[in-house]
Amino acid sequence: MPDTLVVTEGPDEAVAAPQDAALLERIRRLEDALAQRPAPVTAVVPHDEEQLAQRLLTIISAKAAQHRSATSNVPPTPLGVAPIQTYAPYPFPPGAAMPPSEPSVWTWFMTSVLGEIKLIARMYLDPRYRLSRFAQLGVPIILAAFVFNYFFFLLPPIGSLPVVREILERVVCILLSIGLYKVLAREVVRYRQVLEYLSQYGQH
């Protein structure tokens, strides 16, 4: 008698069949729900962001220029540049004295030179002050050198060269003038120190 193959289903396979059917039904419902869901709206990104930013800057600058021209007479300025502010002069009250103007360079120079000359004359005439040995000998020697310089360049052979004689004489005069200025400037500084000392201790 031939063998007969009998296939029987176990209890586990009988229970798994309804579970698979339920899982397939849930998957189908999810697919239907996703198909009916509206598509999300994607953000519109401009193709050229630099061009859009440039257009916005142009519009903003144009609006700002229109606003400035409408509110004031100041000419419009480019975006990001502050306009130049002008201020009206401060009105002086009637009868008030105007502030003194600054002296020119020439006026200041002449005033300073005249003040130094007056101080030097006062230094020589002040009986309370005694000149230093350097000034007592330096000033007469330099003045004598001026006289000697004039006659020296009149003697031959230098005196026979008019252009050279005049140039050399002027150069020596300039050097002697600088030396005289140095001697007197040093003595004036010393005289001012003496005056400060006398004024401090009340000796007049």
Q: Which pLDDT value is given to residue 182? A: 93
- Give me the sign of the Cα torsion angle 161, 163, 166, 171: negative
pLDDT surpassing 70 at residue 108? yes
How does residue 89 score in pLDDT terms, banded at 50, 70 and 90?
A: low
pLDDT surpassing 80 at residue 118? yes
Give the CB-side neighbour count of residue 59, counting CA atoms within 13 A.
6
Cβ 183 vs Cβ 138: under 8 Å: yes
Categorise residue 202: left if φ over 0, alpha if ψ from -120 to 50, beta otherwise. left
Q: What is the mean pLDDT of residues 105-132?
A: 89
Q: Which pLDDT value is given to residue 8? A: 46
Quick count: other Cβ atoms within 10 Å of Cβ 187? 21
Q: Which pLDDT value is given to residue 58? A: 83
pLDDT surpassing 80 at residue 48? no
pLDDT surpassing 50 at residue 160? yes
* Residue ranges of domains in the chain: 129-201
How does residue 63 score in pLDDT terms, banded at 50, 70 and 90?
A: confident
Q: Which pLDDT value is given to residue 22? A: 77
Q: What is the mean pLDDT of residues 129-137?
A: 92
- Higher-confidence residue of 165 and 70: namely 165
- Higher-confidence residue of 145 and 35: namely 145
Q: What DSSP assignment string belongs to the chain?
A: ----------HHHHHHHHHHHHHHHHHHHHHHHHHHSPPPPPP---S-HHHHHHHHHHHHHHHHHHHHHHH-SSPP--TT-PPPP--PPPPPPTTPPPPPPPPPHHHHHHHHHHHHHHHHHHHHH-TT----HHHHHHHHHHHHHHHHHHHHTTSTTGGG-HHHHHHHHHHHHHHHHHHHHHHHHHHHHHHHHHHHHHHHHT--
Q: What is the mean pLDDT of residues 69-96?
A: 58
Q: Which pLDDT value is given to residue 44? A: 47
% pLDDT > 70, the chain: 65
Cβ 142 vs Cβ 176: under 8 Å: yes
% pLDDT > 90, the chain: 25
pLDDT digits (tens, 9 = 90+) for 164-204: 888 999 999 999 999 999 999 999 999 999 999 888 886 55
| Average pLDDT over the chain, rounded to an integer | 76
User: Which of the residue ranges 19-23, 42-46, 190-194 has the most confident prediction, judged by mean pLDDT?
Assistant: 190-194
Q: pTM, whole model, 2 decimals? A: 0.46
